[in-house]
Chains A and B, each alone.
Chain A
Amino acid sequence: MSKTFSFRRFGMSFYFILLMLPIYWMVSMSVQPNEDILGSFQWFPSNFTLDNYRTIFTDSSWYSGYINSIQYTLMNTVFSLTVALPAAYAFSRYSFAGDNQLFFWLLTNRMAPPAVFLLPMFTLFQSFGILDTTLAVALAHMLFNVPLSVWILEGFISGIPRSIDETAAIDGYSFPRFFIRVLIPLIKSGIGVAAFFCFMFSWVELLFARTLTAAEAKPIAVTMTRTVGASGVDWGLLTAAGSLTLIPGVIVIWFVRKHIATGFALGRV
């Protein structure tokens, strides 16, 4: 027994080392001057420097990329959850004309390759005059985040016994009051998980974010492409910008770490 156990631990440790190595490498490059990166190969940074980070934090064309990305990610999370909550409740509690078809159809939007919607969304948002704003990206990301939120929240709401709804009604709670005072606190963890996923998918997406923005609302991911210039790639700056994009992710994982496993199963194991 103990033999298999240590083998398992060895295997898992090995996997985690492999998992972390590429990330380590990017972070370690970001704290080196470019001469060291391109010079002789070294396993650990020898001339530690924060110059690359200093460039990013002092140049507004760099840090505005982060602000834009965070802006549309947060907007998208709020929008998606707001529209998804009542719908999830409806799917979980009532049967209505076309409910199954609608539910499945919603999910098929999660399967739509963003590349398919690229052109029409560009034209559509252009005619609304919201091209090159963070709002446009936030709205475009609702394409996949709304169905996902409905799916996750429906799972969590179905876990709440219906007797609670009835008790609240008998106690004289109106529907909106029941929804905000009773239901939402009960599915807090579900909302957390859904918010986590909205944040995640909006934060990592690039295709929409790139196509729907030009100058004003450029996300950090696009700003990063600037590091490839005529004189070659500015590796230090590129990896520093990349390393900074890890931080929001780590923060949100930390918040939902207790629910992360159920969350990834989309609340339905």
Chain B
Amino acid sequence: MTQAVKPRDNRAWYLVAPVMVSIVFTAVIPLMMVINYSVQDIFGQSRLFVGADWFNKTLEDPAFRGSFLRNLAFSIQVLIIQIPLGIVLGLGLPKKGWRSSMALVLMAMPLLIPFNVVGTIWLVFARGDIGLGGYFLNNIVGLDINYAQDSFDAWTTVLVMDTWHWTPLVALLVYAGLRAIPDAYYQAATIDGASKFAIFRYVQLPRLRGVLTIAVLLRFMDSFMIFTEPFVLTGGGPGDTTNFLSISLAQLAQAFNLGPAAAYSLVYFFFIQLSCFIFFTILKRF
């Protein structure tokens, strides 16, 4: 959507039609079904229209509120840690030669590991008895890490795991944004005698706005939908400490609790859309 004037031609819809068909089947019909479920009490063959009951129940449900706040806290922590760290790493990546290719390939690796394998990697790595990380912290640093029993440790392990998994995405985005800044900008800054920080603040950061918007949006959405990694690592426990929204929703869905699960889904979906829209609007202003 970058070119200024585009010829107006409604026949372009023909080209969009295949996408529409695929989206109708994968998104529209399923969403309709969710809406349909959400206003009914379904038990075997009997269906009863219940209106907004499930929505009221969901919004008042302490378990939903708990998961929601927990997930929100998690997403905020993710953004606070991963965005600055990603910027630092993106600035630090080598720019030329084999070192650069090597760094990019290594950095992209965690992004291509299936989510449950990420969970497995950390399940093993963070264990106090057979895991390198857990063993190191417990026996050499002298802490007492047990992510299966201690709620603080469980939360921290999930957060560290997510940082390990997704900070490379932010770093790669920043790196791509930096590569797109013309040399002339730096030359002008050097002639003006700008300090390194000034270059970062007034040359690099403004030009990174686009990629950082993508990074914040992606990280917020994905951390708000997090499911597999904590599911494998802690299964939502100990207690409810790492029971995020998707985990409790999947539990509802697997119990075929259609009505409540659907209402839960819609509230969840709506919140993600709303916050992405708000983020997007705020970030565009800067």
Q: Does A25 contact B25, Cβ atoms closer than 8 Å? A: no
B89, CB-defined interface residue at 8 Å: yes
Known interface pairs A22-B125, A87-B16, A111-B221; A239-B23 also in contact (CB < 8 Å): no
- Does chain B have a CB within 8 A of A191? no
Chain A: interface size category: 35 or more
A115 to B21: give the CA distance in the assembly, Å. Answer: 22
Given A19-B110, A115-B249, A246-B113, A235 and B13 touching (CB < 8 A)? no
Report A-chain residues with C-beta under 8 Å of the C-beta of B9. 94-96
B185 CB to nearest A CB, Å: 14
Judging by beta carbons under 8 Å apart, are A16 and B179 in contact?
no
Contact B18 A82 (CB under 8 A): yes
Is there an interface contact between A238 and B120, defined as CB atoms closer than 8 Å? Answer: yes
Q: Which of B199-236 contact A (CB under 8 A)?
A: 210-211, 214, 221, 224-225, 227-228
Query: A235-B124, A269-B211 given as contacts; is B112 within 8 A of A204 (CB)?
Result: yes
> Per-residue 0/1 for A1-45: is the Cβ within 8 Å of any B Cβ (1 yes, 0 no)?
000100010011001101111111110010000000110010100
Report B175-216 CB contacts with A as 1/0, cut-off 8 Å: 111011000000000000000100000000000001100100
Across the interface, do A94 and B176 meet the contact criterion of CB distance under 8 Å? no
- Nearest-neighbour CB distance to chain B for A29, whole angstroms, equals 6
For the complex formed, measure the closest distance between the CB of B178 and the CB atoms of chain A, giving whole angstroms: 9
Binary interface profile of B, 88-131, with partner A (CB < 8 Å = 1, else 0)? 01001110000001011111111111111100111011000111
Q: Is A139 on the interface with B (CB-CB < 8 A)?
A: yes
Quick one: CB contact mask for A94-106 with B, threshold 8 Å, 1 for yes? 1111011011001
Q: Are A93 and B6 in touch, CB under 8 angstroms?
A: yes
- Which residue of the partner chain B has the closest CB to A239? B124
Q: A109-B23, A109-B27, A246-B113 are in contact. Are A116 and B249 (CB under 8 A)?
A: yes
> Taking each of B8, B18, B139, which has the highest tally of chain A beta carbons within 10 Å of its own beta carbon?
B18
Judge whether A184 is part of the interface by a CB distance below 8 angstroms. no
* Contacting residue for A235 out of B110, B130, B135, CB 8 A: B130
Contact present for B103 and A224 (CB under 8 Å): no
State whether B112 touches A37 (Cβ < 8 A). no
How close is A5's CB to chain B, nearest CB, in angstroms? Answer: 10
Contact across chains for A90 and B15 when beta carbons are under 8 A apart: yes
Q: Does A19 lie within 8 Å of B107, measured CB to CB?
A: yes
Main secondary structure of the interface of A (DSSP, over half): helix
Q: Shortest CB–CB separation between residue A87 and chain B, in angstroms?
A: 4
| Chain B min CB distance to A241 (Å) | 8
Q: A83-B18, A93-B6 are in contact. Are A120 and B34 (CB under 8 A)?
A: yes
Nearest chain A residue, comparing its CB with the CB of B220: A111
Q: What's the Cα separation between A21 and B12 when bound, in Å? A: 50
- When chains A and B are docked, how far (Å) is the Cα of A43 from the Cα of B11? 64
Q: Within 8 Å of chain B (Cβ to Cβ): is A132? A: no
**Is the C-beta of A192 less than 8 angstroms from some C-beta in chain B?**
no
B145 at the interface (CB under 8 A from A): no
From the candidates B125, B246, B262, name the one contacting A113 in the complex (CB within 8 A). Answer: B246
8 new A-B pairs (CB below 8 Å) besides A115-B225, A268-B210? A19-B107, A26-B125, A83-B18, A111-B269, A111-B272, A117-B27, A206-B228, A269-B210
Chain B residues in the interface with A (C-beta under 8 A): 1-3, 6-13, 15-16, 18-19, 21-23, 25-27, 29-34, 37, 89, 92-94, 101, 103-117, 120-122, 124-125, 129-133, 135, 139, 164, 168-169, 172-173, 175-177, 179-180, 196, 210-211, 214, 221, 224-225, 227-228, 245-246, 249-250, 253, 256, 258, 261-262, 265-266, 268-269, 272-273, 276
